[in-house]
């Protein structure tokens, strides 16, 4: 026997197909008795309508909205893996969109997700103002990944960016590097803690910090390196793995060998960093675990199992590969 259809549900419930459709759309024109009969028939047959229709029919949402700041960054794909796995086990499905790392577009994305009446929202690396996040949280539970918040209605999942950048500096100093530049993430989420961690670690070692403004992109990494070519450092700590790949490309294009002449450290430890021809030394964030914790926070909020804000701060770790070596 194939998968049950809407016609099968109508026959089992003794109603028309049109009435079943009205129930699945959550129409107020259907009596509670007929709504109950249709939902009972659907349950007995194992009929599974689209998640949104099911949510409207039962008056309880089974959808979690997910806004991803940058679809080009493989870090977020691995966070979503953890989020999706936990959400599905808990009986929820995900609806995605993106704000493209632009505050104005993220506002639109939030509005679009809220139109689905989700049970909760997971915002991955948002750059939208805090007021917009608070407004969304007034409608549904919200969890932020890779962004902090003081709002009592918002949960957060972060890695310790200050500690991660400090690990990168310590590693390079242990290799004899003293001229270490940080290409930061500009206005991106968690750029400030990573920048602070770098500056503090450099000063702890008695070294002068040198920060170049950047973004979490390959292009920004390459552009930052080109601005340094007149006085190149012996080592670079990039904003993230994508940024590091761009930096390496620009260094090699300028005739500088990595790591013989310039060492490079990334951040995130995405699959990109582990590719054999990249072999990037980087700071590992537990990406799948971060996604799982985000989904768990939402589900607990939705079920009313906790009302105080969850503040998950995970410890990063250093992964040494082939892009760092003793200072020249």
* CA–CA gap between residue 297 and residue 155 (Å, rounded): 7
How are strands ordered across the β-sheet holding 63-68? 93-98, 63-68, 120-124, 142-145, 154-159, 311-314
Instruction: Give the distance from CA 243 to its chain's centroid.
Output: 17
Q: Which residues of 89-110 are buried (b: 16+ CB within 10 A; e: fewer)?
A: ebebbbbbbbbebeeebbbebb
Contact 32, 25 (CB under 8 A): no
The pLDDT value recorded for residue 55 is 47
HSE-up (13 A, CA, CB side) for residue 312: 24
The pLDDT value recorded for residue 260 is 97
153 vs 172, residue with greater confidence: 172
| Extended beta strands in 184-231, E state | 211-212
List pLDDT tens digits, range 246-299. 999 999 999 999 999 999 999 999 999 999 999 999 999 999 999 999 999 999
Give the DSSP letter string of 256-322. Answer: --TTTT-EEEEEE--HHHHSTTT--EEEEP-HHHHHHHHHHHHHHHHTTS--SPPEEEE--EEE--S
Maximum alpha-carbon separation in the chain:
81
- The top-level CATH class assigned to 6-58 is mainly alpha
63-159+286-315 CATH choice from 3.40.50.10800, 3.20.20.70, 3.55.50.30, 3.40.50.2300:
3.40.50.2300
154: left (phi over 0), alpha (psi -120 to 50) or beta: beta
List pLDDT tens digits, range 105-155. 999 999 889 988 899 999 999 999 999 999 999 989 999 999 999 999 999
Residue 60 has pLDDT above 60, yes or no: no
**Interacting residues of 217 by C-beta distance below 8 A, sequence separation 6+:** 72, 242, 243, 246
CB-CB neighbours of 138 under 10 Å: 9
Domain ranges within the chain, ordered by starting residue: 6-58, 63-159+286-315, 161-285
- The top-level CATH class assigned to 161-285 is alpha beta
Average pLDDT over residues 52-72: 72
* Domains 6-58 and 161-285 alike in fold: no
List pLDDT tens digits, range 199-234. 999 999 999 999 999 999 999 999 999 999 999 999
């Amino acid at each position: 026997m194939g998968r049950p259809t809407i016609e099968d549900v109508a026959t089992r419930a003794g109603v028309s197909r049109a009435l079943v459709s009205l129930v699945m759309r959550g129409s107020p024109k259907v009596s509670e008795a007929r709504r109950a009969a249709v939902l009972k028939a659907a349950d007995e047959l194992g009929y599974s309508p689209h998640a949104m229709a099911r949510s409207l029919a039962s008056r309880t949402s089974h959808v979690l909205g997910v806004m991803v700041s940058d679809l080009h960054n493989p870090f977020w794909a691995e966070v979503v893996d953890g989020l999706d796995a936990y959400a599905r086990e808990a009986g929820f499905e995900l609806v995605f969109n993106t704000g493209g790392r632009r505050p104005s577009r993220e506002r639109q994305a939030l509005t679009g997700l809220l139109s689905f009446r989700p049970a909760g929202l997971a915002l991955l690396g948002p750059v939208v103002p805090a007021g917009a996040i608070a407004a969304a949280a007034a409608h549904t539970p919200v969890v932020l990944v890779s962004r902090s918040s003081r709002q009592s209605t918002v949960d957060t999942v972060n890695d310790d960016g200050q500690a991660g950048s400090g690990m990168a500096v310590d590693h390079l100093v242990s290799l004899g590097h003293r001229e270490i530049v940080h290409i930061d993430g500009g206005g991106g989420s968690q750029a400030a803690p990573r920048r602070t961690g770098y500056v503090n670690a450099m000063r702890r070692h008695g070294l002068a910090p040198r920060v170049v403004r950047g973004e979490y992109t390959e292009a920004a990494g390459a552009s930052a390196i080109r601005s340094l070519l007149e006085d190149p450092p012996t080592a670079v700590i990039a904003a993230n793995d994508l940024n590091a790949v761009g930096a390496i490309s620009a260094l090699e294009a300028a005739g500088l060998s990595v790591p013989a002449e310039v060492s490079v450290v990334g951040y995130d430890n995405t699959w990109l960093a582990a590719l054999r021809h990249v072999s990037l030394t980087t700071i590992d964030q537990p990406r799948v675990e971060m996604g799982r914790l985000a989904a768990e926070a939402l589900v607990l909020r939705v079920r009313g199992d906790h009302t105080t804000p969850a503040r998950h701060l995970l410890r990063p770790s250093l992964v040494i590969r082939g892009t760092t070596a003793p200072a020249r």
